[in-house]
Amino acid sequence: MRIVVVGGVAAGMSAASRARRQSGDARITVFERGDWVSYGACGLPYVIGGEVESFERLVARTPAQLGERGIDVRLRHEVTGVDAGAGTVTVRDRDGGETITEPYDRLLIATGVNAVRPDWANTDLRGVHVLRDLPDGQAIEESVKEAKRACIVGGGYIGLELAETLTTRGLSVTLLERGPEVAGRMLDVPLQRRVRAEVERCGVEVRCGTTVLGLTGEGGRVTGVETDGGRVPADLVIVAVGVKPSTDLARAAGVRLGETGAVAANDRQETGVEGIYAAGDNTESLHRVTGRPVHIPLGLTANRMGRVAGVNMAGGDAQFPGIVGTGIFKTFDLGVARTGLTHAEAEHAGLDAISVDVDSTDHAGYYRDAAPIHVRLTAERGTNRLLGAQLLGRTTSVKRVDVVAALLHGGGTVQDLFELDLAYAPPFSSVWDVLLVAADRAGRRLCGE
């Protein structure tokens, strides 16, 4: 069995490693167009911020280590074409320029996402960056050493994480967001405002409702960002306006794209083309709450998809269970978590939703260091089905989101949440945990009380 994997980060390396465990005889080759494989991209902001000592610490396995396990990893080799009929890929050596044809029996396309670069961001000016992969992180690190004023364009996960990172490094930071609030795609409006307040409290200037028009530069280096509200001086600009699935190779191979614009695959990660699989950030998932395909590129999803693809490519039988859209991040002292649907998303999906908000403390209020926590719980009228939760609080406390995520996977109700036997001791929780209080309040709301 000849297995070829295109892309050597989360999904690709999970697939290759799992395929090797599944089959000791398979010939497994991984082509990676970049210089690194098997690393944790989610850790990049924390290397730049100094919480992680080096970029090398993010690497889980080197090509040499993978080679010892019988996985042939070829760095700086770009797959430029797929001939599905012949069962071959065309590969260009980016260093030597040589082009080869590699046969396969099973092919995994795990090409990830590309950072969105608006027209104004396509520039040769030094100091303008996106943050998608490890080389991007290294480039930002070099620019930070020379910078004093940073401008972040985009108020999503990456933008908010980097707002903290760059402030910690001593830069003055301005964050620009085109929408009315930060975290617009992650949270409902009242929680978005709380996140913005925390970022501003920590010294970041936040300008929402702002459109970027262009960049200014001098001597080959960026000096500012032109907006519809005036110029923002900056010698470091981070473009964090989103990502899009990298699908060119899949489309060229005749693979169908789904309604999200990402690659469509079944629960075995098989595409509609014989012998070709897809997994990771370039591939859409089934949302277990709505029953609809979604494109939510996150680390666990990519690794789990890759694991399933690896098992199946090597002759096993595994299924990807779908997702409930669980995400978490921190900015300064605030942890932000969500799972399932926000109230706005539920209404957009045509569901009859209610939401309740609870402010409490993350453990017993009389025990030392109790800190605020906010929970918004969303449920469906008629069925009493849980639809989602959003949490703001101390970084450790918002991991409670996993309790709701687990129930969402099983189609749980508000009553199921309320009846859970959650752990209690004063250093960890109130006797009635904030999730139980939210479930009780939602239950009463659903009953019309």
Catalytic residues: 42
> What token pair was written down for 17?
């490693």
Do the Cβ atoms of 237 and 153 come closer than 8 Å?
yes
DSSP string, 145-169: TT-SEEEEE--SHHHHHHHHHHHHT
Distance CA 432, CA 430 (A): 5
Task: Sort strands 172-177 and 205-208 into parallel, antiparallel or unpaired.
Answer: parallel
Residues 36-58: b if buried by 16+ CB within 10 A, e if exposed: bbbbbbbbbbbbbbeebeebeeb
SS3 of residue 102 by DSSP = strand
SS3 of residue 254 by DSSP = coil
Distance CA 331, CA 335 (A): 7
Backbone angles phi, psi at 447, to 5 degrees: -85, 0
In which element (H, E) is residue 194 found? helix 189-201
> What token pair was written down for 292?
């609809």
